[in-house]
Structure 1
Amino acid sequence: MIRMFEYDSKQAQSLSQVPVHQPSIIRVIYGEKSLLWQDESVLVGQGQLLLIPAGSHISFVNRPFLGRYRAVQLLLPHDLPQGILSSATDWRDPMPVQNISRAVDLAWNVLLQSLTLSLADPVQLHYLAALLLSLPDKRSVNWLYGHTQRSVTQAALALMSMSPSASWQQEDIADKLHMSTASLRRKLALEDTSFRQLLAEVRLCHGLAMLQNSSEPVLQVALACGYQSAEKFSLRFKQQFGLTPAAYRRTL
């Protein structure tokens, strides 16, 4: 369902090619986030939301204000809440940054409260619908959900995310999705991805979250992500995000 993540840092963070597997909304609380979006420089400051469609890979810099950066990210369901149909006829892509009006602020806060209190899923979806309907650019809902990942990618990600440390094989995923390994490979290729790429992204994103939200040693983080050594995890982490786990931890 809807998941909430909080990100804090005391120093600037520069991360590259961070995969986003679900439609997401990020609100910057302190500081600012800068990113390159379709060859255009975008700045997200306090009082703004960043909308990211599923399947995106974003490179960004988080910059603290007076020694603190803080943001909240909501990972949304792949399907629109029931009853949400945008009436916008202009299908040009809007900018991913939305200003926060009073209506958006109210809807955001009520949704976060429902998540904090672990209210029933239908209630959370009701408040999500209110947030989406409050966005000032009416093209945003079409755009945010118009890039939804195909079903096989979605299903494979959901399975691997349940246990990033498991020794997943293509045969495991194919069996759970009731198809042959060859069919799995072919369908993922049609969706411009692969088993290896998805598994690496799931594990590294899990590692990124653990580094942010726990004090576990890098070795323990590596093991929890399915890597057998801190060295191999650190190498893959740097290849994906552009900095080592230790360097990332130093920004917190």
Structure 2
Amino acid sequence: MKMQALMALAQQACDASATLPFSVYSSVLEQRILNAPIAKPLLIFVLAGVKTLGPDGGVACPAGHFFFLSSTSGVDMRNIPGGDGYFAVLIELDYSDFHQFNGLRQQAGASVHGKMDDVLAKALQQFVEWSACAPAAIWHLRRKELLQLIYLSGHEGVASFVEPPGIAHRVHALVNGDVAGKWSVDRLASALAMSESTLRRKLQAEGVSLTDIVNRARLGHGLHLLQTTLAPIGRIAERCGYHSQSRFTSKFKDLFGVTPSELRKTRIRN
């Protein structure tokens, strides 16, 4: 399937349903985003334009290629439009999706990227089409299929460098499930079935603070909403737990190097 047809199919699915096992990120102007948090392992299929990773844009993924990224606290990226703008399909993975590779793990790398062959492109098309009718309980089956195809195409690294999440990622996942909620050490300790002192000690050992995790989860959700919806920025701020749009804007700018309104402008054709 040609990239333009796959783009149209993915966009049509997103327009028809708000609950899907994938997201679409698109822009008409270049986006530069610093410290973008990757909360869970992520597959990115670039269908138009170019995506680069790293402070110097050292790893490039043009249209017709894919990235696989492990969870990380932050990565610098650029989304560079081409003739059809920038368009990518993002699929967030679960750690259980990698159980199929038990016993096959090699030394972890920073990322896996490569070209989509015809089989992988066809599988992505089927994933998008199937998402419209498949129940959420079996979404993992198609995610595993995509990972298996990437592995069999010579990208064995996809099986190797995703490790079970540390305590910081577990906390992030909890906060991400209720980004507008009030998160305290006692609430998190109770959810994780551990004492407050143990939780503090584990977070300190990983070099992170609860405040930092909460802020990154909230702002990461805000980044996602800005990339996938046209909701008013004030409403997005509220959904992320910020009672003040100006405070949300300030925190967003500090972390990502761009304001919400500046990022919004990259998605709207004048």
Task: Using the TM superposition, give the Cα deviation of residue 173 of structure 1 relative to its aligned residue in structure 2, in angstroms.
Answer: 0.8
The CA distance in 2 between the partners of 1:210 and 1:200, in whole Å, is: 15
| TM-score computed with the length of structure 1 as normaliser | 0.88
The residue identity in structure 2 corresponding to 1:224 is R
Percent of residue pairs bearing the same amino acid type: 25
Distance of 1:92 and 1:156 partners within structure 2: 23
Aligned equivalent of 2:107:
91
1:225 to 237, 240, 248: 240
Equivalent residues of 1:3, 1:76 under 8 A apart: no
- Note if contact 2:69-2:111 (Cα within 8 Å) is conserved in structure 1: no
Question: Where does 1:1-252 land on structure 2 (aligned, <5 Å)?
Answer: 3-36=21-54, 41-66=58-83, 68-85=85-102, 87=104, 91=107, 93=109, 96-122=112-138, 124-135=139-150, 136-146=153-163, 148-150=164-166, 152-252=167-267
Q: Write the deviation string for residues 67-104 of structure 1: whole angstroms up to 9, x where unpaired.
A: 6111111100022355334647x636375211111222
Shift of 1:118: 3.2
Q: Deviations over 1:110-162 (max 9, x none)?
A: 2333333233534x32322221121123422233424x421x33332222112
- Asked whether the 8 Å contact 2:29–2:81 carries over to 1, the reply is yes
Q: TM-score, normalised on structure 2?
A: 0.82
The answer (yes or no) to whether the contact 2:70–2:111 under 8 Å persists in 1 is no
Letter in 2 for 1:189: Q
Q: After superposing the two structures, state which structure 1 stretch, 77-86 or 61-70, moved more.
A: 77-86
Distance, in Å, in 1 between the alignment partners of 2:215 and 2:26 is 24
1:43-82 superposed Cα distances (whole Å, 9 cap, x missing partner): 1011110110112521111111126111111100022355
Contact kept in structure 1, 2:108 and 2:157, CA below 8 Å: no
**What amino acid sits opposite 2:30 in the alignment?**
A
With 218-227 and 235-244 compared, the bigger mean Cα shift is at 218-227
Query: Structure 2 unaligned runs (5+)?
Result: 1-19
CA contact (8 A) 1:36 1:59 kept: yes
In 2, distance between residues paired with 1:82 and 1:120? 19
- State the one-letter code of the partner of 1:247: E
Cα RMSD (Å): 2.3
Q: 1:196 to 1:183 in 2, by over 3 A?
A: same
Paired with 2:87 and 2:108, the residues of 1 have a C-alpha distance of 31
Render the CA deviation track for 1:155-185: whole Å, top value 9, x for unaligned.
3222211221112222211122222222111
Structure 2 Cα separation of the partners of residues 169 and 95 of structure 1: 33
Equivalent pairs, count: 246
| More helix, by proportion | 2
SS at match of 2:101: coil
Q: Which residue identity lines up with residue 113 of structure 2 in the other structure?
A: V
- Residues 142 and 81 of structure 1: CA distance in aligned 2, closer, same or farther (over 3 Å): closer
